[in-house]
A and B are shown apart, each in its own frame.
Chain A
Amino acid sequence: MAVTVANARRARLPAALGGALRSNVAGLVIGIAVFTLAFALYTSGFTSRINIYSLSRSIGINGVVGLAMMAVLVTGGLNLALGAIGVCSAMVVGWALQALGLGVAPALLLGLIAGAALGAINGLIVVTTRLHSFVVTLATMSIFFGGMVLLSGAQGFNALPPGLTGFGRMRLFGMISPLLIVLLIVGFALFYLYRFTALGREMLAAGANPVAAKLAGLPVERLFVLCHALSGALGAVAGVLASLRNGAIVPSMAGPLGSDWLLPAFLIPVLGGTLLTGGEVSVLGTVLGAVFVEVMTSGLYMLQIGEFWIQTALGLVLLGAILLERARAGMALARGRQS
């Protein structure tokens, strides 16, 4: 999906499809198909309704986690505080519902605003101090999470209104969780943003080459803050989705300092073809990356290799994806030299 800014206007849907076929998307589709088939044949219950339901739920959550990281990978930076922001925002939703007695819609809106605000704080520190986002978000991860635990007294919110818990438990066609639908909606919105809006194109341009973008008159700093805010807002969505799966909002849902989200957050966009150096994203790739990762996780779980080894397997998948990506980049370079 490498589309330069210059021909962005000409790059409409047909070009997008062509790009998708050449990118990681084709490989992911094949991988998903092969592993689904293998797990369906060699495990019992992989294609059962209950497993498809739980798959669709975890794809929904981790897909949004991956998109949230992707939104900031655009800048060539990263967001280690994503998990902490997700948990903090979910806690804000719980607080708004239970302590403030707000309705569901205003509470969710407040959570989104909180996520965007925390993300914007990251972005503001990054652009004003010009420090690498790694060390900035390493620090804010600690600050946000610690602050949230201090303010909440580590007490979760478990009396969610029936409307929300009902949504979390809903099954469409008897086996699809609405959390997957949320991922699809978020995915379409981001696809539209990055491909068809000036703001999205400017984010990509600023991330691909900040200096050139600045010389071309783009407000690079403001765009980077927006990318971080977008990442925070999507983190809030993921935090709420994870709470819906748990049926409660608890501070420990993403592990210590929210660090349990880190592996899926990087693994999924990288699998999908998003570059860590910035300027290139693949929304479709990220969504498919989430499907691939969850199919693997669920299948390995059913093969009973032990839940701890799944973590090792996912690390190997990330390593494999990186090596494959490098090999392909090398081949592309060699082809370029020949022609």
Chain B
Amino acid sequence: MKGLLRTDWIGLLVLVLAGGAALAAARPEFLTAYNIDVILVSFCLTVVYALGQGVMIAIGHMNLALGATGCLVAVAFGGVLEVWHLPLALAIGFGLLLGVACGFVNGWLTYRTGLTSFIITLATLSIFKGAALGITQAQPFYGIPAAVKAFGSDRWGPLPEMLLVALPIVIVIAVFFGRMVVGRQLLAYGGNPHAAELSGIPASRVVILAHTLSGVLAAVAGMLSVARLQNATPSIGDEWLIASFAAPVIGGAVLTGGHLPVIGTCLGVLVVALINQALVMLAVDPFYVQVLLGLLILGAVGLNRLREVRLGTAPAVRLS
């Protein structure tokens, strides 16, 4: 019980439950199957790309090209299905490979140049996004097979079928960072790159692996978006950036690396989805979501920072 209380996500869980309860009390229609479904569908998609950013945050990097990768994979996925009539399994494999390639390029360039991943992924962001728009001429692919569409819209009661992808990914990432040597090496590198290298963890492998993993998760999120929207439109991924940082940060991740709270990230995704849904139900201007998300990020990073200082684990003072 004491251990449970000390985990960093318990407060967040209480917050999510209290928020849900308050919303249900104020608006009884909140607990309808439809609303729960909306929140869960949004959860399935957001948690995948939030973990895609979380993997980067774990090693102290970032991936601005996350949404652009998802977009490129989504339109390529839609394109090979509609134009080349590829079998579904092959198309999914193609999409995943493209995600691997995009992530690998990011990781390789970041490692080889030794520059911040910010500027590298800013460059690849516009390369991938431009390619996605150029291929499609900004028009969506509509020829999505019925199986994909069904996967995006089928439900068991209030549970969307997309959970079949989202939940295993959450578990795999949790096991990868919690139990596996490579995952722990990624975290060690994130906590202190220099010390990790001295203890024999190759920086090249860590950086390239993490970026590739991020690319794969972006690819999965891109293809899930196609299933959810029932078409492959090149605006997929445009709104991922803020939420992809917000969810891990609300969950307790520190941008300097070394820590990836998987359960916290899931709860962070739920917080974002709850806020969205609450504001829709209370008929508030959607731009309040923007303001609130911004404030949440600031509040969460401030809180994480405070906790670090309190625990004496704060990294050396950085002014920039």
Interface residues of A (CB under 8 A from B): 75-78, 125-127, 129-136, 138-143, 145-147, 149-150, 154, 207, 210, 220-221, 224, 256-257, 259, 262-263, 266, 270, 276, 278, 306, 308-316, 318-319, 322-323, 326
Q: Is B129 an interface residue (CB 8 A)?
A: yes
Does B290 contact A257, Cβ atoms closer than 8 Å? yes
**Majority-rule SS of A interface residues:** helix
A135 to chain B, nearest CB (A): 5
A276: chain B residues at CB < 8 Å are 115-116, 118-119
How distant is the Cα of A135 from the Cα of B53 in the complex, in angstroms?
A: 13
Does B320 contact A210, Cβ atoms closer than 8 Å? yes
Contact with A along B137-161 (1 / 0, CB 8 A): 1100000000000000000000000
Does B320 contact A278, Cβ atoms closer than 8 Å? yes
B134: chain A residues at CB < 8 Å are 306, 308-309, 312
A294 to chain B, nearest CB (A): 16
Does A221 contact B301, Cβ atoms closer than 8 Å? no
How distant is the Cα of A311 from the Cα of B122 in the complex, in angstroms?
A: 12
> What are 18 residue pairs bridging A and B, where the CB atoms are less than 8 Å apart in the complex?
A129-B302, A129-B305, A130-B317, A132-B256, A132-B318, A133-B320, A135-B245, A138-B241, A149-B287, A150-B291, A224-B319, A256-B239, A263-B122, A308-B137, A314-B130, A319-B109, A322-B119, A326-B115
Does A322 contact B113, Cβ atoms closer than 8 Å? yes
B283 to chain A, nearest CB (A): 14
B265 to chain A, nearest CB (A): 15
Please choose the segment from B166-174, B202-210, B292-300 that sits at the chain A interface, where 4 or more of its residues have CB less than 8 A away.
Answer: B292-300
A136 to chain B, nearest CB (A): 7
Does A131 contact B301, Cβ atoms closer than 8 Å? yes
Given A133-B320, A256-B238, A319-B127, check contact A146 B255 (CB 8 Å).
no
Across the A-B interface, the 5 shortest Cβ-Cβ residue pairs: A146-B290, A312-B130, A311-B130, A142-B294, A315-B126
How distant is the Cα of A70 from the Cα of B240 in the complex, in angstroms?
A: 26
How distant is the Cα of A78 from the Cα of B62 in the complex, in angstroms?
A: 14
B287: chain A residues at CB < 8 Å are 146, 149-150, 154
Does B319 contact A319, Cβ atoms closer than 8 Å? no
- Closest A residue to B316 by CB, please name it: A211
Q: A146-B294, A278-B320, A316-B127 are in contact. List 5 more A-B contacts (CB 8 A).
A: A135-B255, A146-B288, A259-B241, A311-B133, A322-B119
Q: Which has the most chain A C-beta neighbours within 10 Å: B126, B131, B291?
A: B126
How distant is the Cα of A42 from the Cα of B124 in the complex, in angstroms?
A: 28
How distant is the Cα of A326 from the Cα of B285 in the complex, in angstroms?
A: 47
Q: List B residues 78-98 near A (Cβ within 8 Å).
A: none
A220: chain B residues at CB < 8 Å are 319
Does A132 contact B255, Cβ atoms closer than 8 Å? yes
Given A135-B255, A315-B125, A322-B123, check contact A129 B320 (CB 8 Å).
no
Does A318 contact B126, Cβ atoms closer than 8 Å? yes
B320 to chain A, nearest CB (A): 4
Given A310-B130, A326-B113, check contact A143 B320 (CB 8 Å).
no
Given A224-B319, A276-B115, check contact A306 B123 (CB 8 Å).
no
A288 to chain B, nearest CB (A): 19
A78: chain B residues at CB < 8 Å are 118
- Closest A residue to B249 by CB, please name it: A135
Does B120 contact A322, Cβ atoms closer than 8 Å? yes
Given A145-B290, A312-B134, check contact A127 B319 (CB 8 Å).
yes
Q: Which has the most chain A C-beta neighbours within 10 Å: B134, B255, B290?
A: B290
How distant is the Cα of A256 from the Cα of B302 in the complex, in angstroms?
A: 26
A317 to chain B, nearest CB (A): 8
Q: Is B18 an interface residue (CB 8 A)?
A: no
- Closest A residue to B285 by CB, please name it: A150
Does B116 contact A76, Cβ atoms closer than 8 Å? no
Q: Is B114 an interface residue (CB 8 A)?
A: yes
Q: Is B38 an interface residue (CB 8 A)?
A: no
Of B119, B239, B241, B295, the residue contacting A266 (CB under 8 A) is B119
Q: Is B242 an interface residue (CB 8 A)?
A: yes
Does B297 contact A138, Cβ atoms closer than 8 Å? yes
A139 to chain B, nearest CB (A): 4
Of A131, A316, A319, the residue contacting B302 (CB under 8 A) is A131
Contact with A along B102-114 (1 / 0, CB 8 A): 0000000100011
How distant is the Cα of A139 from the Cα of B295 in the complex, in angstroms?
A: 7
Does A312 contact B131, Cβ atoms closer than 8 Å? yes
How distant is the Cα of A311 from the Cα of B239 in the complex, in angstroms?
A: 18
Does A142 contact B319, Cβ atoms closer than 8 Å? no
